[in-house]
Structure formats: C-alpha cells, structure tokens
Amino acid sequence: MDIETIPGVGEKTAAALSDLDDPERALRDGDVAALARAPGISDGRAARIARAAIRREHGDPGGFAATPRAQEIYRDALDLVADHAVTRYAERRLETFYPSPSRTRVEEAREFAARAMDREPDDEIRGALAGVEPLESPPSVRVRDRCLATTDAETYARAQDALPEVSVEIVDDARGLADLARGYATVVALDDAFTGVEVEGDVRVEPDALEDPATVVPERTLAFFAHNRNRLRAAVEVHRVADLDPPCDLDALADALARIDDDGNVADDDRLERLQTAVDDLDAAVSTAESVANDRLRGAIEERDVTIEGADLLSLVEQGAGVDSLLQRELADEYAAAVDDARDHLVDALGLDDYADMARRAFPDQPTFPVERDEEVVSRLREELTTARDRRATSLKREVATDLADARDDAERLAEAALELDVELAIARFTRAYDATLPEIGGEGVAIEGGRSPLLDVPYEAVDPVDYEVGGVALLTGVNSGGKTSVLDLVALTVTLAHMGLPVPADSARVEHVEELHYHAKTQGTLDAGAFESTLREFGSLVEAVRSGEGGDVVVLVDELESITEPGASAKIMAGILEAFDATDATAVFVTHLAREIRDAARTELAVDGIEAEGLVDGQLVVDRSPVKNVLARSTPELIVEKLADERDGFYVELLEKFD
Ligand SMILES: Nc1ncnc2c1ncn2[C@@H]1O[C@H](COP(=O)(O)OP(=O)(O)OP(=O)(O)O)[C@@H](O)[C@H]1O
C-alpha cells in the first residue's frame, strides 16, 4: 500500500508512519494503536488515518454524516459502543467503524459485527483484558560485560550496525584479544583467523555471530519480553479464560515469562543467586571473618600469662622487634586457630564450594594481630565471582532467549488477538445492553420496530419502544414533548449504526442503503436575514443535488424548520422543499407544528404522521410514542381547548371548531 496515496496523508505524515515496524499492516488492519506510535501522530489522528485507509480501499468518498447534527449522532453512536470496551486499544479501534456510503465497507463491517455479536462476554474475560495493551518495543539495551573483537575495519562497521548493544573493538593480534579478555567477562572474536588461538578467559571465536545476534546479545530478545511481560501474561490469561485458539503454546510462554524479571534477567536460578549474593556480600563477609578471628585472638591473649626469659627479651629488644612479634611467637597456635575461624566463616558465608580454596587464601598463614585479609586475594576473588556471575547470567539468558527467540511474532499475535477480542466483546456487550439487532439493509426508507433510543434523557429501562416506518417524504406532527425529536434521533441513530455495520437498538429494523444522512436540528429562535439566507441556500443545494442524483440516495431529517422565520413564510418554504424531495428517491421526515399550513401550500399530497396524545391526566400528557400513519396529531393547545370545551359549552366549543 502506497501510504501517501491515502487521503489526508501528506509527505510528513507518511514519513512518520514509515518509522513504524510494519505501517502497511497497521493501515490494513485499522490498528489505531500501532499508528499512534508513529512520531507526532495523536490517537485521534491515527483513527482518522485508519478510516481514510479503509475509505480508500472501498472507494468510499466519505461525507455520510453530512450535517453537524448527523456528525454528533455518529459520535454518540460510537461512544455507546466504545463505552463497553475495556482497553484503550479497543476504544480507538472502534473509531474505524464509521457510517459509510460504500456497500462493500458496510458489508465488511457487518460481517465483523455478526461474529462479534455471537461472543459471550463474561466478567472473567473482562478482568483479564484489563491488563492487555499493544506490545511495545523496549528501550535499547546496553551490554557491558561482553565485547566483539575483529582485526578488520569492514567487519568492525558491520558489527557496530548489527549489534549496537555491545562494544566492538579492533585488535591486532591474540595479545589484543587477551587484553580485552581481562576487561570483559566474554569476548567474541569475529575473525576465523583466531580459531585455535589459546587465550586466558572466556574468549569465543564466532565468525557467524553477526548473523545470529540473539546468541551474542540474548538481552535483545529478553528485553522485549521483559518490557511486555505483564501485557503478555494478561494476553495469555485472556486466551485461557476466553478459550481462544492461541498462536503458540501458552504454558511454554508463561513458563519462559516466569523465568525473567522486569529487567530481563533470569530470576529463577539458584547458582546465579548464590554468585550474586557472594559478590554483593563479599566485603561484609570478609570484615565479619576478620572480627571473628580477632575476637577469638583477643580472648586468648587476655587469658594468657606470657613468660619470657631475660635472654630472649634482650634479643628481641636488640632486633627492634615489638611486642606483637613476641605474641606471634608465643601464641602461634592461637593465631592458627583464629585464622582458621576466619577462613571457615568466609567459606560458609559465600556458600560456594568451588571458591572455598580461594576464600581460605584471603587470610594468610603469616600471623599478625589484628588478623587482616590479603587484599590482593580478596580482590581477585571479587573479580572471579563477578565474572562467574556474569557468565552464568549470560548463559541462562541465552538459554531462555533461545526458547523465546522465535516467539516474538507469536507474542505479537497473541496480544493482538486479545485486543481484537476486546473490540468484538465491546460490540457484544453493546448488543446485550440495548437488546440490539443487526438491521436488514435494503428496501425503501427506514422501518423500525420496538426501537429504543439510548440517547434519551431517561434511564434506558424507562424508554418506551417506538415503531416507525417511513419511505419517501413525511411530515411528523404531535403534541409538545410527545417525542418527535426523539423519533428523529432514533431514525438518525438507526441509519447511522446500520451504515457503520453495527446492530441497532430495536427489536428489528430495515434501513435503505443511502449515501448521506442530513439531519438538521431545531434552530434556537428566528434567524436573522443572513443566517436565514444561508440556511435556504443549504437546502437549495441539497434539493438540487438530490434532484440531479449527484448525492445518491439520502435520508433527510429536519426538526421544526419553521422556527427559522415567520410561520406563513416557513410553511411555504417547507412545502417547496418537500415537494422537491417528493419527486425524488429521498427519504425525508420533517417534524413540524405547521403540518396543515404546509399541506395547504404544497402542490402534492404530503404524508403526515402523528404522535398522538391519548389525553391529559392530571395536567400531564399521556402519549403513545409511536407515530401513527396518516394522522395529523392534535397539538397541545388543541388538546387543552378540547379539554376546556368538554368542561363547559360556549366560547371553548366555538374555539375548538376553528381547529377542524
Ligand atoms: N420513547 C420514549 N420513551 C420515554 N420517554 C420519551 C420517549 N420519547 C420522548 N420521551 C421523553 O419526552 C421528552 C420530550 O421528547 P421530545 O423532545 O422528543 O419531544 P418533542 O415532541 O420533540 O417536543 P417539542 O414539540 O416540544 O419539541 C424527552 O426529553 C423524554 O424525556
């Protein structure tokens, strides 16, 4: 897919998208989360780009929601579904569902929705989904205990490219290699020429190392899994509880994940733990061993009477020897025992049999008081323990990384499948929350049975189901607050959801495939001359487009257009617009309180539907919310006059006659 050919994607955005691992896939799958990872691309922009890619694929010119109110209804529809998503990914992904004039797009979305509606949402899956997020690339790692070595400048450059995590060094010969081996736990020589060369330390000759970076730097593989550990564990859990068909062995992946910690270290190895503790505690253990020996020696000295012959004393004084050498001579056995104590303590504290000999050498045979470590031996011991720890860590990392090396793609697919499940479950939950059904697409106009608008300002349980069918042009009349606007909202929501390929909140529905929805909300009060003119122009253009067939089939919903100007003029204007629509295939519903006047002004017979008030009970209207065909419903004033006329003869009866 040529990214730049997507409408709205310019050179800059295309460059940002090409930074992604696989922008084509992200665009093809509508993966909004992946697109939003491109530099400078916000979530909202990512959703627009994904929609644009879908539109291009279906040759969809866009523009379905043709008015601000129609766009509001689309946002509302989207929110109704997205409210049921658990993950942010699903919320964003749902934004790729939009009302489309393209039949193939609607069909594609309907297939997805039909599958989704069959899903059984349950709380356990919901809980597991809470931890799933799209996988991320980890921050780059730096490995300091290993280096690569070569004599060749070209290999040097290739190595730097292939393995930026480690240092690459140029060496002249085996001596250079030996120097490096003193500074690094492991040296990987890249030149064949070094094969068979004997060098002290962990020096490996691996001319193919650059082809298989994971063996040299298992940290690269592990960093990915460590960084995404919790997301992957959640994705594994989702697969288990939802019984999804996994792309890999879940137990093996879970086991491998359990072996690494958040930093990508292998966490479950006893030997590594001991080596680590030994390195960490070495200084403290040596100090304690010294104290043990000195306490013992001090006690022994305190308890002893030292007798010295005069000749000996003289000779010692003549040699300039201090009292300590006298003690050494006299307390040789106690010294030996104290040093033994120190050695035993250190060996015990380190808990590593293979380092016992060296640990013992940390306290020299030569008696001194106080007993002191041999600093040189201790620092060699520290070095050896550190190297052994690093080697052990690396070999374990290599082991786990080998298990995980080929699992990255599967891991990505695992997370994606869990996230996609959330998209489907959001649709499934929306379906259940509103008893929604997938509408039939086709026929003329719109037919809704048992429609309940979730956009109403009453709790959903209190919404009265509405039946309404309209094909062609109709006026919708009724008492104040009877539910006329709510019927328009319900029709608009049904048409919008149907063209998003999603289920609608109704027992059943049929929606004609149309290219545009024009929904004009009621204006607040009379418009000034300028605004009136521009509204008229808007309707003029719409009428002309519908007449010429340019805009394709449309649904037009208009709420009390009469409020734009004085009643006499608006009745004539509405009559003219409706006459024009009547001669086309457009479906149009105009809510009005001027149905009589419009009918009188129109040259064609206009259908009138009415929301009837069944009467007034305690000053409250009792209303059947479903519009009735061919009924010009009585208005609220008419109802009140009728009530007064019922109560007494005379003026009110005369007044009532005016309504006939
Ligand atoms: N189907 C329904 N179920 C329950 N309540 C409803 C339903 N339809 C409308 N209502 C209630 O009636 C109120 C008025 O509805 P709506 O605004 O649609 O009436 P209207 O006929 O357009 O009024 P007006 O003529 O004053 O513009 C709504 O705010 C809602 O509380």
The label of the residue with tokens 């129109």 reads 602
Nearest CA to ligand 1 atom 7: 483
Distance CA 660, CA 652 (A): 13
Residue-wise over 81-91: b if at least 16 C-beta within 10 A, else e?
A: bbebbbbbbbb
Residues of the chain with pLDDT under 70: 1, 306, 320-329, 526-527, 551, 619
| Whether 556 contacts 471, CB under 8 Å | no
Q: Within 10 A of 126 (CB to CB), how many other CB atoms are there?
A: 16
Which element (helix H / strand E) includes 613? strand 613-617
**Which of 467, 477, 485, 487 for a ligand 1 pocket mutation test, highest count of atoms within 8 Å of Cβ?**
485
Ligand 1 pocket by Cβ (under 6 Å): 456-458, 462-464, 466, 478, 480-486, 625
Tokens 């006299």: give the residue: 330
Ligand 1 center–CA 354 separation, angstroms? 85
Is the CA virtual torsion 647, 649, 654, 659 positive or negative? positive
Question: Cα(370)–Cα(374) distance, rounded to whole angstroms?
Answer: 13
| CA gap 555, 557 in Å, rounded | 7
Determine the distance separating the centroid of ligand 1 and the alpha carbon of 465, expressed in angstroms. Answer: 12
Write down the residue that tokens 């564990």 correspond to.
233
18 annotated as ligand-binding: no
ipTM: 0.98
The alpha carbon of 623 and the centre of ligand 1 are apart by a number of angstroms equal to 10
Neighbours of 138 (CB within 10 A): 16
Cα-based distances in Å from 582 to 112, 604, 610? 36, 8, 19
Residue of minimum CA distance from atom 16 in ligand 1: 483
Q: Which residues lie across from 447 on neighbouring strands?
A: 469, 510
- The count of other CB atoms within 10 Å of the CB of residue 658 is 8
Is 540 marked as binding a ligand? no
Strand partners, 474: 589, 607
Q: Determine if the pTM surpasses 0.90.
A: no
In the numeric block, which tokens belong to residue 93?
């992904």
Single-letter amino acid code for the residue at 536:
L
Counting from 1 in the atom list of ligand 1, the atom nearest the Cα of 486 is 18
Whole-angstrom distance, CA of residue 555 vs CA of residue 89 = 33
Separation in Å, CA 366 to CA 286, 296, 342, 362, 563: 17, 17, 14, 12, 110
34, 115, 242, 245 from 120: Cα distances, Å: 27, 11, 9, 15
Q: For the chain, give me the number of helices (H) and strands (E)?
A: 27, 15
Determine the distance separating the centroid of ligand 1 and the alpha carbon of 556, expressed in angstroms.
20
Q: Six-digit token pair at 47? A: 């959703």
Q: Whose CA is nearest to atom 14 of ligand 1?
A: 481
Instruction: Consult the annotation and say whether 228 binds a ligand.
Output: no
What is the CA(481)–ligand 1 centre distance, in A? 5
Provide the 8-state DSSP code for 150: E
Would you state the pLDDT for residue 327?
66
Report which DSSP code applies to 264: S
Measure the CA–CA gap between 365 and 554, rounded to whole angstroms. 101
The strand order across the sheet containing 607-611 reads: 516-520, 554-559, 587-591, 473-478, 607-611
* Residue minimizing CA distance to atom 10 of ligand 1: 483
C-beta of residue 244 within 8 angstroms of C-beta of residue 421: yes
- How high is the pLDDT of residue 191? 92
Q: How many residues does the chain have?
A: 660
Burial of 415 (0-12, 13-18, 19+ CB in 10 A): buried
**Contact call for residues 106 and 442 (beta carbons, < 8 A):** no
Q: Is 484 labelled a binding residue?
A: yes
Tell me the CA–centroid distance for residue 75 and ligand 1, in Å. 21
With contact defined as beta carbons under 8 Å apart, do 182 and 203 qualify?
no
The Å distance, Cα 537 to ligand 1 centre, comes to 30
Q: Is 482 annotated as a binding residue?
A: yes
Predicted confidence at residue 323, as pLDDT, reads 63
**Ligand 1 pocket: which of 460, 463, 486 to mutate (most atoms <8 Å of CB)?**
486
E strand segments, 479-606: 508-511, 516-520, 554-559, 587-591
Residue environment code for 2-34, b if the CB has 16+ CB neighbours within 10 A, otherwise e: ebeebeebeeebbebbeebeebeebbebbbbbb
d(CA 471, CA 559): 17
**Residue 594 CB burial class (10 angstroms; 0-12, 13-18, ≥19):** buried
- Considering only CA atoms, which of 460, 442, 444 is closest in space to residue 452? 460
Measured CA to CA, the distance from residue 27 to residue 151 in angstroms comes to: 45
Rounded to the nearest angstrom, the distance between the alpha carbon of 98 and the centre of ligand 1 is 27
Q: Where are the beta strands (DSSP E) in 122-253?
A: 146-150, 167-170, 186-189, 202-205
Please give the Cα distance from 574 to 560 (Å, whole number): 10
Contacts of 218 (CB under 8 A, 6+ apart): 394, 397, 398, 400, 401, 402
Pocket test for ligand 1, best of 452, 458, 460, 480 (most atoms within 8 A of CB): 458
Q: Say if residues 518 and 554 touch (Cβ distance below 8 Å).
A: yes
Q: How far is CA 380 from CA 4, 80, 199, 351, in A?
A: 62, 68, 19, 17
Residue bearing the CA closest to ligand 1, atom 13: 481
pLDDT attached to residue 535: 83
- For residue 37, the model assigns a pLDDT of 80
Atom of ligand 1 nearest to the CA of 466: 1
Q: What is the dihedral of CA 276, 278, 280, 281, to 10 degrees?
A: 150
Question: In this structure, is the dihedral angle defined by the CA atoms of residues 383, 218, 35 and 237, taken in order, positive or negative?
Answer: negative
Angle, in degrees to the nearest 10, between helices 375-404 and 270-303? 160
Contact present, 509 and 449 (Cβ < 8 Å)? yes
